Amino acid sequence: RPPSGAGPQPLATATAAQPPVGVLQQPAADAVRPAVDYGAGAASGGEAAPIAGGEQPQVLLHITTHDWEPDQSGQLRVRKGTLINVSHRAAHGWVYAATVQPGGETGEPVAEGWVPQAVAKRVSLCRVVVDWPAEGSGTLGLLKGDLIAVSKEAERGWVYGERISPRRPDVPTDGWLPKKVLEYILM
């Protein structure tokens, strides 16, 4: 752990680097953006509700890329595939985030805290508008209404996504799919 007051340290691995002492406090209230509902009532235009003063909050939706266990209070425990809303980014390679419950799922209570930036990647949230069968390995079969976190776009109308809801243990959770079967809820 770097001494208090030390400059930012490189993030070698998600569990090896620690934020500087005193950084694991919740950001000031004015630094935390409001939580956004990503369920059925989410705006189809990808915009969040305005905050005081008419300013549009910047929604920073991410998905966690692997499990991460906290080793200090103020940190957030996440599992691979958890949606998080990043509200504050610190210079030392950590982000302050809150978990997001897509589609009104109530499996786990919403929680917030610090996580290493290395465990999260930026995504757009989409809803599947028409069934689409997988076309071989590396593609993702979809059912109308599935929620998908899209992290990559390729040429010719294909995107890479991960099924967020509903969870189906017997089918793949990520792969390539045609963009034309998606409605973007939040970008």
- In tens, the pLDDT along 109-135 reads 788 999 999 999 999 999 999 999 988
- In tens, the pLDDT along 11-49 reads 333 333 444 444 455 555 444 433 444 443 333 333 333
The band of 168, judged by pLDDT with boundaries at 50, 70 and 90, is confident
Cα angle: 74, vertex 80, 86; to 5 degrees: 50
Is pLDDT above 60 for 158? yes
Q: Would you call 52 exposed, middle or buried from its count of C-beta atoms within 10 A (0-12, 13-18, 19+)?
A: exposed
Report d(CA 110, CA 99) in Å as an integer: 5
Rg (CA), the chain: 18
- Give the pLDDT score at 67: 94
Of residues 162 and 15, more confidence is placed in 162
Of residues 55 and 137, more confidence is placed in 137
- The dihedral sign for the CA sequence 186, 92, 30, 54: negative
First-last CA distance in the chain: 36
- In tens, the pLDDT along 46-92 reads 333 333 444 544 658 999 999 999 999 999 999 988 889 999 888 88
Contact (CB, 8 A) for 110 and 25:
no
Average pLDDT over residues 126-147: 92
Of residues 152 and 103, more confidence is placed in 152
Report d(CA 156, CA 79) in Å as an integer: 32
What SS3 string covers the chain?
CCCCCCCCCCCCCCCCCCCCCCCCCCCCHHHCCCCCCCCCCCCCCCCCCCCHHHCCCCCCEEEECCCECCCCCCECCECCCCEEEEEEECCCCEEEEEECCHHHCCCCCCCEEEEEHHHEEECEEEEECCCECCCCCCECCECCCCEEEEEEECHHHEEEEEEEECCCCCCCCEEEEEHHHEEEEEC
Report d(CA 128, CA 180) in Å as an integer: 9
